[in-house]
């Protein structure tokens, strides 16, 4: 019998896992992608215990849940992967990926490093893209410029960034690494990875 994936995705387009330090530009580039190809890609809406930022809509940016609700979903085996990031929990539910795949869309996951490691152990057969800031100093400026995080959160995100960048150097963990220096250049590379036939 053919192996059954965590969400029965064997004959669906391969998911794309986008990772990279907080502030590396994942949301910025993903917004461009979804705007440019609204039907082709679907976002895996994660669960998180963190509070919404201004403008983040529940069920769109994330499913914002309590710690108890998050733990309940872990107990019910509802997550493909989950991890703690700073003081909050984040996770990709089986349902999030399944609902994108059911529409025939390529599923996009925006997740951190521990989640990447866990997805690699599943048979999601994902492609992995890492977004790298030009330097940690520039990352810090961008995180501050975004104006969404408290000082302690910025410090914790920068510490985590060092770990993510270190892990990205492990040979073979990512199919593509894009340095997000000039946004237009990064966008071209991002688009080429996600929509390869347009550049061939």
Site for ligand 5GP in 42-71 (CB under 6 A): 46, 50
Question: Are 12 and 104 within 8 A, CB to CB?
Answer: yes
Distance CA 148, CA 121 (A): 33
Does the footprint of ligand 5GP cover residue 114 (CB under 6 A)?
A: yes
Residue 171 has a CB neighbour count (10 Å cut-off) of 5
- Least spacing, CB of residue 107 vs ligand ADP, in Å: 18
Sequence-ordered list of residues with C-beta below 8 angstroms from that of 164, at least 6 positions apart, any chain = 19, 20, 21, 112, 113
Is 83 near ligand 5GP (CB under 6 A)? yes
| Residue 5 binding target from ligand ADP, ligand 5GP, none, CB below 5 to 8 Å by type | none
Q: Which does 145 bind (CB under 5 to 8 A by kind): ligand 5GP, ligand ADP, none?
A: ligand ADP
Examine residue 128 and tell whether it contacts ligand 5GP (CB under 6 A): no
Number of residues that bind ligand 5GP (CB under 6 A): 14
**Nearest CA to 16 among 38, 44, 36, 39?**
44
Q: Are 120 and 170 in contact (CB under 8 A)?
A: no
| Out of 103, 183, 188, 199, the residue judged to bind ligand ADP by CB under 6 A | 183
* Residues in contact with ligand ADP by the rule CB under 6 A: 20, 22-28, 142, 145-146, 180, 183, 186
């Amino acid at each position: 019998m053919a192996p059954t994936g965590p969400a029965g995705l064997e004959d669906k387009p391969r998911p794309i896992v986008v990772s990279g330090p907080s502030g590396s530009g994942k949301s910025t580039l993903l917004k461009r992608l979804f705007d440019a190809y609204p039907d082709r890609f679907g976002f895996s809406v994660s669960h998180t215990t963190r509070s919404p930022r201004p403008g983040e809509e529940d069920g769109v940016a994330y499913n914002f849940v309590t710690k108890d609700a998050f733990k309940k979903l872990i107990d019910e085996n509802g997550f493909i992967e989950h991890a703690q990031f700073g003081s909050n929990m984040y996770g990709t539910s089986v349902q999030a990926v399944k609902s994108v795949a059911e529409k025939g869309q390529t599923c996009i996951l925006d997740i951190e490093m521990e989640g990447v490691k866990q997805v690699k152990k599943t048979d999601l057969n994902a492609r992995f893209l890492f977004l790298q800031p030009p330097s940690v100093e520039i990352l810090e400026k961008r995180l501050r410029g975004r104006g969404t995080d408290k000082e302690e959160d910025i410090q914790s995100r920068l510490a985590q960034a060092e770990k993510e960048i270190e892990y990205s150097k492990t040979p073979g963990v990512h199919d593509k690494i894009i340095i997000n220096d000039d946004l237009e250049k990064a966008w071209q590379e991002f688009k080429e990875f996600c929509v390869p036939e347009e550049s061939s």
